[in-house]
Chain A
């Protein structure tokens, strides 16, 4: 039977949550996906950048190679943008009689979850790559044979963001709104 879903008494928190529009959840999910990813990328870039600038004063040769660390952090922001764009294409209008259908709610929650997954995975990935990039710049300035070895650690670190993007996209594939009756 279509229509209202009864969960608990009519004035419980669960009922209130269910009555929030799925579009709210979707919009917040998209915002978190891009916003928190960019926060992670920016955090990582400033951590790497300040060490890189200081170390390059004594050892100017490190500048071009160590921009790779900054690029890895930037990639994290790009993942966030890509997923945000994908998520917003998943938004569809449903007629107001069907907004609170289980299918609609599921689509809304899927987009929300996808946004959170991508946002927070990219946040910690950006942080991780930034801290390693800072150590990489300082070590490279002292001993140039260390650069490639620390870069391997950074590559593993940036894979974390990629995991988040993959799972986020799989989640968002579930976001099927009820078809118009």
Chain B
């Protein structure tokens, strides 16, 4: 019953919620980012990070440090925390936590299939996969020639199987089809996750609906902008939009016929929650759009911590960590390439 979660949530979820809130207090603050932005070399970054929670993970790295190593170790920390929470969780929280990683699974599948298409070595691709999205038979993906085989050989045993029904065709895999496959899978995943949260009910449903709706709308805008000028027809574009969210269904109809960014802006400015995002961009500029969306997402994720006794905090924590890792990657790349003036272009402060 909505409003009375406080009475029974702590039976199964109290301990893990307290743990995830403890992890949240370890996220890097604006002061940490300011210190990091002033570093001259990657070793300075490693020194600053060893004072934070990433210390034990970066300590043993030998001195010529690469940005990929930093990112890998930070991701390892996130994976360790996730696995710890997952093994302590009971139903339905364990299903919820697994749902959070299906997005990474989809990305890994697409990465391997694309890499195989371009004749890359499977081992090399496996190392680039995100550790949260690994599953057992992932290496077999390299063998598949078209989507039907992909499904039959590998994906039917994974949790992604039900998302595939919409995109099995006998066409061979090529770059365009793979992007469409990725977006179709992600659409099915978001809708499934949304339905699952609605079934859970209560505060979880309310908070997750808001976060997932924002995600769906953001993806709709990104799909629109990325497919301007390509051969993707309007009908195909419509099919890639998720069927929930603030923009559904009227915004999607308008977005489907957009042919340039200013038209997209015109559509989005009609929706009050998204209007401040688009008003920050001057005309014709779309690079800052990503950062503006990330800032909005971080704001909403932080708000979900204001309420207790729901599962949204787990989702929010994972996303905030991923944002932090993106920030660290950007800072490390800027420092490594000596472009410190551009550091603040893409760092989103969480606190």
Contacts and interface: CB of A to CB of B under 8 A. Distances in A.
Contacts of A57: 18-19, 22
Given A134-B308, A138-B308, A55 B22 contact: yes
Contacts of A137: 18
A21 interface: no
Contact of A54 (B6, B7, B15, B26): B15
Interface in B1-55: 6-7, 10-11, 14-19, 21-23, 25-26
A137 to B, nearest CB: 7
Interface of B: 6-7, 10-11, 14-19, 21-23, 25-26, 308
A99 B65 CA distance: 90
A67 interface: no
B23 to A, nearest CB: 7
B22 A50 contact: no
A62 B10 CA distance: 19
A47 B16 CA distance: 13
19 contacts: A43-B7, A46-B11, A50-B18, A54-B14, A54-B18, A54-B21, A57-B18, A57-B22, A58-B22, A58-B25, A58-B26, A131-B7, A135-B308, A137-B18, A138-B21, A141-B22, A141-B25, A142-B21, A142-B25
Interface residues of A, number: 20
Given A55-B21, A58-B22, 10 more contacts: A47-B7, A50-B11, A50-B14, A52-B18, A54-B14, A54-B16, A57-B19, A57-B22, A131-B7, A141-B22
Contacts of B6: 47, 131, 134
A54 B11 contact: no
B85 to A, nearest CB: 10
A59 interface: yes
A116 interface: no
Nearest to B22: A58
A135 to B, nearest CB: 6
Contact of A53 (B7, B18, B21, B23): B18
A59 to B, nearest CB: 7
Contacts of B23: 58
Contacts of B10: 46-47, 50-51, 134
Contacts of A142: 21, 25
Interface string A34-65: 00000000010011001111110111000000
Contacts of A138: 17-18, 21, 308
A73 to B, nearest CB: 13
A134 B14 contact: yes
A59 B21 CA distance: 11
A162 to B, nearest CB: 22
Interface string A58-84: 110000000000000000000000000
A86 B177 CA distance: 79
Q: Which of B16, B19, B22, B26 has the most CB of A within 10 A?
A: B22
Given A127-B7, A134-B308, A135-B308, A47 B14 contact: yes
A53 B25 CA distance: 16
A17 to B, nearest CB: 33
Contacts of A46: 10-11, 14
Contacts of A135: 308
Contacts of B7: 43, 47, 127, 131
A54 B19 CA distance: 5
Nearest to B14: A50
